[in-house]
Amino acid sequence: MVGYWDEMFALERRVDELMRSFFGTRTTPFFKEFRPTTDVFDRKGDLVVRVELPGLDVGKDVKVSIEDGALLIKGERRQREETREDEYYRMETSYGSFTRRVPLPEGIDEDTIMAEYKDGVLEVVVPKAATQIEAPKVKEIPVHVAKPIKAA
């Protein structure tokens, strides 16, 4: 299951990069939401969610909760000082609200979940959750090759 989410997050990052390269970071409605880099991995049977949140006041700007069987990390990166866009030579920093949702296996003990913020990185540890994640079932679909169309 973790491998599935790794692939989904990687795909999401590639789409974000493509859209940013085409539209830029500030000129499109696709980027109203700030998307912090998020890693989800197994550490000795514990599910670890690591989110890069440099410069945020985690006490005011970030909320970690469990909702509908998922770990929810919500927050907002605010621009601290007002600078007009025409004063920038380059603007790559994204601002705005974000939500990161990580599905959790059933039966975890929510009271044992720990969150720590250090050096701009929020790390949430869900003890023993990685051992409860079932690997996704894989069914291979045969691909039939169509006959080429002959040119006239």
Q: Is the pLDDT of residue 126 over 60?
A: yes
Strand runs labelled E in 2-152: 38-43, 46-52, 62-67, 70-77, 96-103, 114-118, 121-126
| Mean pLDDT, the chain, integer | 81
Task: Determine the Cα–Cα distance for residues 31 and 27; give it in Å rounded to an integer.
Answer: 8
The pLDDT confidence band at residue 129, using thresholds 50, 70 and 90, is: confident
Query: What percentage of the chain exceeds 90 in pLDDT?
Result: 34
Give the pLDDT score at 48.
95
pTM: 0.64
**pLDDT of amino acid 29:** 43
124, pLDDT greater than 80: yes
Q: Cα(35)–Cα(29) distance, rounded to whole angstroms?
A: 14
* Maximum average pLDDT range among 6-15, 59-68, 129-138: 59-68
Q: Does the pLDDT at position 95 exceed 80? A: no
Tens digit of pLDDT for each residue in 18-75?
Answer: 776 766 654 444 444 578 899 999 999 999 999 999 888 888 889 999 998 899 999 9
